[in-house]
Amino acid sequence: MTIAEKNIARCINNVKRHTGLCRAISVALLFSMPLGVQATMDDAKVYEPVAPTIDQARANILIARQLQFTHFRDLGISDELSGQVFDAYLDYLDGQRIYLTQDDVSTFSQIRNHLGSALKTGQLQPGFDIYNLVQQRVIERLQFALDVIDDGLDKLNFSSDESILLDRSDAEWATDSAALDALWIKRIKNAVLAQRLNGSDDDTITENLQRRYEGQLKRAYQARSEDAFQAYMNAFTGMWDPHTSYFSPRTSENFNINMSLSLEGIGAVLQSDNEYTKVVRLVPGGPASQQGQLQPADRIVSVAQDDEKPVNVIGWRLDEVVDLIRGPRNSVVTLEVIPSSATDETITKSIAITRDEVKLEEQSASKDVIQLNRDGSDYTVGVITIPTFYADFQAMQAGDPDYKSTTRDVRKLISELEEQGVDGLVIDLRNNGGGALHEANDLVGLFIDKGPTVQIRNSNNTVQVLNDEDPSVAYDGPLVVLTNRMSASASEIFAGAIQDYGRGLVVGSQTFGKGTVQAVRPLNHGQLKITQSKFYRVSGGSTQHKGVIPDIEIPTRIDKTRIGEDALEHALPWDQIEAVPHTRYFDFSGIIDELRKRHEERFADSPEFSLLQQEIDFLNEQREQDSVSLNLDVRKQEHEQVEQTRLTIANARRQIRGEEPFKTLDELDDWQDQQAADLDKTDEELDFVIREGGYIMADMLELDKHMASIDEPTQFAAQAQAQAPNQ
């Protein structure tokens, strides 16, 4: 054992946690050792470089073949692609450019354009060399951060006129270690400021930051060969499209469990986002969806079990975060998250969620009725909310005549609403992320005669057309379909078909744009999820990338630059194929301008819409902020302004509802916690977007009566009077 090694061992045996001196010695030893040298002492923390396995090399070759010959996108493995893989891999490993220097990046510049040929033949070592260097730099940076914290937060200067860039994804690489030191001191100051402004004292902040960085440091030391391989393969597969990805054997197991919907957890779909775990979407009817605070694009910082201390999960593998969140039914897991609306990654909130199974009945379609008055005329509008496209396959296969499915449930709800004498129908597909394709096909069939519903083009350019073969129509009256940015996949197929057939109006915001179909294929080592086909509307346009554009638009709080297919790197583009013959039931061209005009006039006078626009403007202003001050007084003033705006907006909403305003932010926070904890709460009044859908419905009916009175063809006549099919 060398003298340096003995000193490290002695340090570790004498103290529970590294002192600054111990960390400095271990770093010096780490970067003086060849990559292949392993530590000889039991307790010393020295990074063990990971190496590829034969199984991984074979899987790499299979992945390369599948991508080239079976993926929907025809993309060869070229020198240009090699450079893109290199950049994507560095973005995955150091997306905020806080670990590597320009010299580090230049070290691998000679292999930048040669990764493709290596990936074709299973030569993984270049990717593993990059991974090992990044892990070493991660350890170095985290040890530096702990040294700064050990020196005391009182040594940090919060009176200078400094600021920190919030998003460094497009920043230049740091010139050297000294530049990274300066950057990390700013990062630590930013974290300290955020916690001080949230009321934490310096002792608590010190403990929190030590726990955070030590947790990340522990994960870095525990890096596995599979971590490097999965990261490298996903940088590679992501060149074809963002939904094509490699699943390690462990990740494959979690994927298969999630697909069964029997998982006891919180009902959230997660993915890796640089060093964070990000919420992609919430499962309708699941605990997180019902609790109401967790939102898509939130990033998870820590996880706590019941009353235990939180475990920081920044830098953790996705499968390990999933394991930590998963747990027995009725137990409580608390997530500390960076909200999607946060301007700064140090702004967090804690969300307590009671674990449970995602039950099919909690995803079921439901109905409501709203009564509206327009210019002295009363209208009864039915509302059907569809959280997801579901079907109880097991009950169906068992021959249960009463098995649940979206189409069967909606047909029954329509019958009940018609018995109540509704004048029109609103279908709410907001936040519906899709589900069973055949259910979308069958649901369209409730509103049309026989006809095509969607086209599916495969990688060999063959086109399959799905049809509604049932000539019966469950509802032939006026129809409005509500969508938002989280309406995806099967939701887009339904909304697009209703729009193409002229069967109803689509109202809301542009949908997600998920118009691709994936298949999971087994490998010798893990699985490959690969895009193999693409959806097209009956009019020929794809739902991919562009989604469905509403006939009447309603703004949304959702940040379209962060959520949606067109916000994803390498997403397949929008295109179109030939239309298939389909009927146009109604022609809205004669009334759509008047409908939009009335809608805009109504919203101009609506306090709810005014408040929504105020929220959107506030969120956009926060999102556009690219840096924050590190001066305590300036930061405190900015923080108070943001918090006061939150309180003002919340009280404006309470005033609209005739409720007492909150006197303080603490009152607001306590009320939000109580609301989130009450899983049985029900809205006394449907939200104003649904009511606006009803008003648009009333406008349609009024305009229809007007056209009938001047002997114009009525827009909502019987289906027998439908126009000839379009070609």
Q: Picking from 3-12, 104-113, 441-450, 547-556, which range would have the lowest pLDDT averaged per residue?
A: 3-12
pLDDT value at position 568? 92
pLDDT level of residue 296 (50, 70, 90 thresholds) = confident
CATH 3.90.226.10 residue ranges of the chain are 362-606+688-721
* pLDDT at res. 423: 94
Question: Do the beta carbons of residue 708 and residue 716 sit within 8 Å?
Answer: no
Q: Taking 60 as the threshold, does the pLDDT of residue 369 lie above it?
A: yes
Q: What pLDDT is recorded for position 73? A: 95
- Average of pLDDT values for 699-703? 88
pLDDT confidence bin for 720, thresholds 50/70/90: very low
Q: Determine contact, residues 681/702, Cβ cutoff 8 Å.
A: no
Long-range contacts: 372-380, Cβ < 8 Å, 24+? 372/691, 372/694, 372/695, 372/698, 374/695, 374/698, 374/699, 374/702, 375/702, 377/698, 377/702, 379/423, 379/424, 379/694, 379/697, 379/698, 379/701, 380/420, 380/421, 380/422, 380/423
Q: Mean pLDDT over residues 381-407, rounded?
A: 87
How many CB atoms neighbour CB 370 within 10 A? Answer: 19
Alpha-carbon dihedral sign for residues 394, 397, 398, 403: positive
**Among the four given CATH numbers 3.90.226.10, 3.40.50.300, 3.40.50.2300, 3.30.70.1560, the one describing domain 362-606+688-721:** 3.90.226.10
Judge whether residue 25 has pLDDT over 80.
no
Poorest-pLDDT segment among 134-138, 150-154, 530-534, 653-657:
653-657
Catalytic-residue membership of 514? yes
Question: Does residue 726 register a pLDDT over 60?
Answer: no
Cβ atoms of 367 and 416 closer than 8 Å = yes
pLDDT at 563: 87
pLDDT band per the 50, 70, 90 thresholds, residue 173: very high
The answer to whether 426 and 383 are in contact (CB under 8 A) is: yes
Torsion of CA 603, 383, 547, 431, to 10 degrees: 90
Mean pLDDT of 235-247: 95
Nearest to 49 by CA among 34, 60, 32: 34
Which of 98-102, 561-565, 666-670 ranks highest by mean pLDDT?
98-102
Question: In this structure, what token pair is assigned to residue 595?
Answer: 């409908």
Q: At 171, list the tokens.
A: 């920043």
What CA–CA distance (Å, rounded) separates 388 from 648?
34
463: phi then psi, degrees, rounded to nearest 5: -120, 125
Catalytic residue, candidates 514, 542, 546, 629: 514
Give the pTM: 0.83
pLDDT tens for residues 271-292? 877 778 888 888 777 888 888 8
pLDDT computed for residue 254 by the predictor: 53
Q: Out of 82, 252, 272, 489, which one is annotated catalytic?
A: 489
Catalytic residue among 356, 500, 551, 559: 500
Exposure string for 86-117, b = 16+ CB within 10 A, e = fewer? bebbbbbbbbbbbbbbeebbeebeebbeebbe
What pLDDT sits at residue 8?
41
**Which residues, 6+ apart, have CB-to-CB distance to 668 below 8 Å?**
646, 647, 650, 662
- The CA–CA distances, whole Å, from 624 to 186, 362, 558, 619, 645 equal 20, 38, 14, 9, 17
484 exposure class (CB count in 10 Å sphere: 0-12, 13-18, 19+): buried
Question: Are 180 and 106 contacting, i.e. CB atoms less than 8 angstroms apart?
Answer: no
- Distance CA(164)–CA(183), nearest Å, equals 8
Confidence of residue 506 (pLDDT cuts 50, 70, 90): very high
* 252 pLDDT tier (thresholds 50, 70, 90): low
Paired tokens of 189: 């100051």
**Tokens 């026989």 identify what position?**
450
Q: What fold does the segment set 262-357 form as a domain?
A: Pdz3 Domain (2.30.42)
Instruction: Give the pLDDT confidence score for residue 532 in this predicted structure.
Output: 95
Q: Which three-class secondary structure state does DSSP give residue 123? A: coil
Model pLDDT, residue 16: 36
Cβ neighbourhood burial of 252 (10 Å; 0-12, 13-18, 19+): buried
Report the percent of the chain where pLDDT is more than 70: 86
Q: pLDDT band for 680, please (50, 70, 90 cuts).
A: very low
pLDDT in tens, 481-491: 999 999 999 99
Question: Among candidates 322, 217, 245, 260, which has minimal Cα distance to 531?
Answer: 245
Cβ neighbors of 226 (< 8 A, separation 6 or more) are: 56, 248, 249, 250
Work out the average pLDDT over 620-648: 89
Q: Region 174-199: what's the mean pLDDT?
A: 94
Backbone phi, then psi, for 623, in 5-degree steps? -65, -30
Question: Is 660 in contact with 671 (CB distance < 8 Å)?
Answer: no
- Report the pLDDT averaged over residues 305-311: 84
Confidence at residue 63, expressed as pLDDT on a 0 to 100 scale: 97
Residues of the chain with CATH 2.30.42.10: 262-357
3-state secondary structure (DSSP) of residue 196: helix
Average pLDDT value for the chain: 85
Cβ neighbours of 334 (radius 10 Å): 16
Q: Which residues contact residue 720 at a Cβ distance below 8 angstroms, ignoring those fewer than 6 apart?
A: none
Residue 709 has pLDDT above 80, yes or no: no
pLDDT band at 261 (very low <50, low <70, confident <90, very high): very low
pLDDT classification of 713: cutoffs 50, 70, 90: very low
Residue 109 has pLDDT above 70, yes or no: yes
Mean pLDDT of 413-441: 94
What's the distance, CA 634 to chain centroid?
Answer: 33
DSSP letter string, 36-85 = T----SSS----------HHHHHHHHHHHHHHHHHSSS-----HHHHHHH
Return the percentage of the chain with pLDDT > 90, whole number: 55
Band of pLDDT at residue 362, cut at 50, 70 and 90 = low
The token pair that represents 161 in the structure block? 């006129």
Long-range contacts of 74-79 (CB under 8 A, 24+ apart): 74/459, 75/239, 75/240, 77/116, 77/117, 77/119, 77/120, 78/116, 79/113, 79/114, 79/116
Distance CA 369, CA 414 (A): 11
- Res 674: pLDDT: 67
Determine the number of helices (DSSP H) and then strands (DSSP E) in the chain: 22, 21
SS3 state at 429 = coil
